[in-house]
Amino acid sequence: MNPRSVLNLPRFFRKAFGATLVLWSLVPLAYGLELQEGEELAEPDLTIGCLYPLTGPMGFFGRDADVAIGMALDQLTLLNQQYINAGEARLYPHLKVLLEDSKGKRHRSMTLARQLVEEQGVDILCGIVYSSIALEISAYAERQKMLFIGAGHTSSRLTQAPVNPWYFRVNNDSRQSMRAGARYLKEMQSETPWTTLAYVGPDYDYGHQALEDLLEGLEALDVPFEISAEYYPKLSEPDYSAYIEALLLSPPDIVVCNFFGDDFANFVRQAHLQGLLEVSQLANFDTGGGYSVMAALGNDLPPGVILAGHHHNNWPDTPGNREFVGEFYRRSGRYPNFMAESSYSVVMAVAEAWRKAETMDAEGIRQSLEGLKLSLPEDPPGFQSWIDPVSHQVMQVIAIGESIPNDDYPPATRMLGNWKIYKPELEPPNR
């Protein structure tokens, strides 16, 4: 009878609402090194239910999350072994992670969230790409008095007062991104004077909130400027030519475009073809610098576009980030988009909060998450990510760069360089 390891279990699949559910399970070493045939897995300490699109236009987000969740669980296994070797008594929990295909649809996401909680018995919800859906999931989690760890959406409304005590986010929100963008634009104005700014963003909560955050940041810094135009195309609108033509009638100095994923790639491609990038400086301070955009555009992304992202494959140039990117590539044969690190961060944050909690119940984990410090791949030397106990928003360094030729991460032929680095405006609590 051959024993079967329970430390790197294969994923299991079933159909839920016509879509694949991916199940990851980790039993740390403390719970037993081997599983004999006929034996059953121990009950998990925590079950996390994540909602990401696995199919459709945004399916690459969920597929990268799938890979990164496995990486996080394997990392916890290694860390537990180190703790055991060092004689530590407190280890990371036995986790089970369920990943459902939300398809990015509002009703479907809510239905799946309820199923995960009320039928599957998950302890924590996570994920969600679209902020408008995240607002509904957050309200549901608050009614259930259960944790929802946001990873992928960025509207700052979710971390503004009154804050849902059960909601936390482990990627930058639009307020952080746009305030960093405002600092960048202020510095740029002293070097290359500009006076007019136009904004283009998706017509839902995230798109509108991001402009409010940018204007707030520019006003706080006393940046003199004029808003020349605002446009809000529908999400996934295929043709932006009318908006670009309108911008070309009186070209602004700066165009801040806050689309993400394929929408931003399509806008850049069309703006480049219609000549907008020759007369206006294009910028995206939130997710436009994500690897999926670089890979989609290739040589269609001209040099000099100002971009940022929630994670970069080529910054910071640290052992931790290089290993994260390299391991992702070894497992998947591709380079990660920012959703990979966001979903990785969920698992690591939950495990760290559980390990440090005074009580192992939902309230104990919730309190442990407030002010939690966490080392993540995107942290530059001398900095550690931390969760603000007031807003429940993770605090991280934001890197803004320019597109430059770079063939090191194919199929992308552009990456970001000429970095400017912006630390959080808040200081971590002493704990």
Dump pLDDT digits (tens) for 212-241.
999 999 999 999 999 999 999 998 899 999
| pLDDT mean over 98-112 | 95
Does residue 167 share a domain with residue 146? yes
Q: Tell me, yes or no, whether 251 lies in a domain.
A: yes
Taking only the tens place, the pLDDT of each residue in 284-326 is 999 999 999 999 999 999 999 999 999 999 999 999 999 999 9
What is the count of structural domains for the chain? 2
- CATH number, domain of 328, equals 3.40.50.2300
* Per-residue pLDDT band at 426 (split at 50, 70, 90): confident
- Is pLDDT above 80 for 115? yes
pLDDT given at position 352: 97
152: left (phi over 0), alpha (psi -120 to 50) or beta: left
* Per-residue pLDDT band at 40 (split at 50, 70, 90): low
Please report where in the chains the tokens 């990627």 appear, as a residue.
171
Q: How many CA atoms lie within 13 A of 352 on its CB side?
A: 19
Does residue 356 share a domain with residue 300? no
pLDDT given at position 429: 80
Identify which has the larger pLDDT, 389 or 36.
389
Which residues span the domain enclosing 192? 175-312+399-422
Does residue 262 share a domain with residue 217? yes
pLDDT given at position 32: 30
Mean pLDDT, the chain, whole residue set: 90
pLDDT given at position 31: 29
* 3-state secondary structure (DSSP) of residue 166: coil
Give how far the C-alpha of residue 309 lies from the chain's centroid of Cα atoms, to the nearest Å: 9
Does residue 340 share a domain with residue 210? no
Q: Is cis: bond before 252, omega within 30 of 0?
A: no
* Per-residue pLDDT band at 21 (split at 50, 70, 90): low
Does residue 292 share a domain with residue 201? yes
